[in-house]
Amino acid sequence: MEEIINKVDLSGIVTLDLINYKPVKSEYAAFDLVPYLYKGYLLKEKVFRVDMIQINWSQFAAKEVILYCSNDAIVPYWAYVFITSLLKPYTARILCADQQNHEELIWIERIKKIDYSLFKDKKVVLKASTIVPPELYVCATGYLMDHVQSLMWGEAGSPIMIYKKKKTI
């Protein structure tokens, strides 16, 4: 019987699967300002400040927190800054986004923090997935191109060549 040789392993191709950086719902919390607005649309400063001070912010410990307003109320920027000042002692990551982009915003922040130097002069394939939004692939590609020998798309067994570093003499 002939030995099966894994040509992918021998090729030296490294796979980067961005799905591994997808946030899990339990890792982040969303804080909607609407319940703290008068009739859901108007911020009354004195009442708002009292309400914010009474919140047990420790419930957000060890979570990434997204601040947002789920309706079209006009919220003054200082309100987001004030909430951030109250949250900061409990969590290091506080982001502001609309309701649709919570998860994606955290996901892209995680992709920005990948140690891309680990891919220095390597052949890298970005694993294809319909779950990963295209913006995330764009972000990762921008960082990878500064480090990789070549960048491919798809699966390690049959990748599509995207970029190859020009050889310097």
Nearest to 137 by CA among 108, 159, 100: 108
Nearest to 144 by CA among 15, 50, 25: 15
pLDDT score, position 104: 87
pLDDT score, position 167: 78
- Whether the Cβ atoms of residue 126 and residue 97 lie closer than 8 Å to each other: no
Q: Mean pLDDT in each 10-residue stretch from start to end of the chain (169 residues)? A: 59 90 83 95 96 96 90 94 96 79 85 96 95 95 96 91 85
pLDDT score, position 7: 53
Please name the helix (run of DSSP H) or strand (run of DSSP E) that holds residue 45, with its range, or none. Answer: helix 45-54
Question: What is the domain partition of the chain in residue ranges?
Answer: 7-22+115-164, 25-108
pLDDT score, position 28: 82
Q: What is the DSSP code string of 47-89?
A: HHHHHHHHS-GGGGTTSEEEEE-SSS----HHHHHHHHHHHTT
pLDDT score, position 62: 85
- The answer to whether the predicted template modeling score (pTM) of the entire model surpasses 0.75 is no
Altogether, the residues listed in the chain come to a count of 169
